[in-house]
Amino acid sequence: MANPNKIIFQGIVLNNQDPLMLGRIRALPIDVVETQVLSEDWNPTADPWTKKDPLIYLPLLPYYVSQVPQVDEYVHIFLYNLDQELDNTKFYIQGPITRPQNNLFEYWRNTESLLASGEFLKQANNLKDPITFENKANTKGIYPEPGDNSLLGRGTADVVVKKSDVLIRAGKNFPVQTSGFNLPSPRQNRSFLQISLFDLEKEKGDPKEIQSFVNKPLLLKYLVEWEVSKEFIISGFTSGGGITATTVYNGSVELYGLPPNDRVKSSLVKMTTPLDDLKGPYLYNLIFTGKTQEESVKIINQFINGVNQGKINVDGYQQYPFESSTNLDKQFPFYFRPTKNNIDKLSSSASTDFNMVNNFFRKIKLLPSDRQFGSVLVFQKNVVGDQLTLVKEQNIPIRYKPNPVSYGTVGADFVYLLSHKTDIPSKSKINLQPKETLYGIDQEYFTNQILPNTDPMVRGDELMKLLKLIVDFLGSHVHNINKAPIPIGTDGTKLEEIRKILQDADNSILNQNIRIN
């Protein structure tokens, strides 16, 4: 193994179970055969880890930083004296790995791909673009960035110390170790502790009311559809013996109620918007026959204006709503348009059908002075088209002041806060015995011992809502002598609301996944 030009030698880990627990390993230089360095009277059972063992190496890192390689991993070997290769003054340090996702285990031969002795081996894929330095795939945040200090575990756990943040993480990615040259993905529900300091503190200023006009879509309440179904000519005789010819029309107008559905927003409904599955049977319809164009337009417009006014009252037809004392309630916004049959005629190439409907289309209006016709949104009484709505909002200005502020956060699927000095009187005491928990609590102990002997944390805001509701009811309830309280208080507080909140308290008021003892 001796080479006057070498200062670091290559080795393979044979055994890492140091009886003294000092981080020592038994390793073999890759250019040495084990039998060449073992004595003739070597006992493979009794002699390893004794003074007779020439393959023991001390960690070059101090004891206080423990990093012991796995069996069959690569190590760098340092000799205190090249002339005394077999004495006990020999050191090792963990060798490189070919890619971060191999942190669980890296076979020594793979490691050589990064060294001059392994130039013939396939190189690992880059995690970052070598030009833009952008992370490939979705690996950003899994591994430490340059400039940050870190302590990495063999799986998905690490400690990262940045300029003003400390992260302690477990389960940061999956899978734990990728196969081949695949890349890992971040795990959202990782377990972590984050301690941070920020230079600026965010604070809220005094609220101010801001008024603005916005285009706020509303749900349509009604739909009016009109149709001209037939055009024909009526002939007659004049008093002087001549013949007259009058063009007349058949048609109808129908009123539909619309359900509260996002598809009937005032900003979405147009002339061709399909609504047949929502409008259902008509609430009221009016049919006219043998009417001139002027008479027909008047009937349709009176129908539309009736919806606008709250009472459809067309000359010669029954009113709607039918009761004289009843009007349409909250009818705005509503929309009027031709039926699909008439829309198809407007888009047809047949000049007769097109002309018949088009001559009506331009005359169907809410008010004679309106510029919009045929297919129109009535936003409010006597007003057509989308309108701006006055919105009043409380604006709370946010400002930052130069006052350093710190944050501490614990995140996990299940969070337990345990005290050695307390226990829940109605439950068993949690015994964090060193024998079972000193080197970490396993999952079975969490589920069998800690979970049943802890209580869920209370959500303060949700609890205060319930307490306020109870106090309001107590202060406003009334009851007759010798009878239960009336379930509705004088201020409108309902006993049923309190009961409903209590029924869901296990989920709304209590957080079952954050627990204390």
Give percent above pLDDT 90 in the chain. Answer: 61
Evaluate whether 313 touches 306 at the Cβ level (below 8 Å): yes
Biggest alpha carbon–alpha carbon distance for the chain: 147
Strand partners, 192: 169, 411
| C-alpha pair distances (Å), 39 with each of 34, 50, 55, 84 | 10, 13, 12, 15
Domains of the chain by range and CATH?
A: 9-95 (2.40.50), 149-202 (no CATH), 222-389 (no CATH), 407-456 (no CATH), 458-516 (no CATH)
Evaluate whether 159 touches 195 at the Cβ level (below 8 Å): no
The residue ranges of the chain whose pLDDT is under 70 are 1-4, 83-87, 116-124, 137, 178-181, 238-241, 479-485, 490
At CA 175, angle to CA 169 and CA 181, rounded to 5? 115
Q: How far is 14 from 30, CA to CA, in rounded Å?
A: 11
Which residues touch 473 (CB under 8 Å, ≥6 apart)?
Answer: 489, 493, 494, 495, 498
Evaluate whether 272 touches 265 at the Cβ level (below 8 Å): no
| pLDDT tens sequence across 150-164 | 999 999 999 999 999
| pLDDT tens sequence across 391-419 | 888 888 888 889 899 999 999 999 999 99
Tell the burial category of 206 from Cβ atoms under 10 Å away from its Cβ (0-12, 13-18, 19+). exposed
Which residues touch 4 (CB under 8 Å, ≥6 apart)?
Answer: 82
Q: How far is 440 from 474, CA to CA, in rounded Å?
A: 50
The reported pLDDT for the residue numbered 482 is 67
Strands 25-29 and 56-59 turn out to be antiparallel
The reported pLDDT for the residue numbered 269 is 96
Evaluate whether 250 touches 289 at the Cβ level (below 8 Å): yes
| pLDDT tens sequence across 316-346 | 999 999 999 999 989 999 999 999 999 999 9
The reported pLDDT for the residue numbered 440 is 92
The reported pLDDT for the residue numbered 357 is 95
Q: How far is 90 from 79, CA to CA, in rounded Å?
A: 5
Q: Which phi and psi angles does 232 have, rounded to 5°? A: -150, 170
Which residues touch 365 (CB under 8 Å, ≥6 apart)?
Answer: 301, 304, 372, 373, 376
Q: How far is 277 from 504, CA to CA, in rounded Å?
A: 36
| C-alpha pair distances (Å), 312 with each of 122, 159, 250, 322, 332 | 84, 75, 20, 9, 15
The reported pLDDT for the residue numbered 486 is 74
Q: How far is 429 from 517, CA to CA, in rounded Å?
A: 8
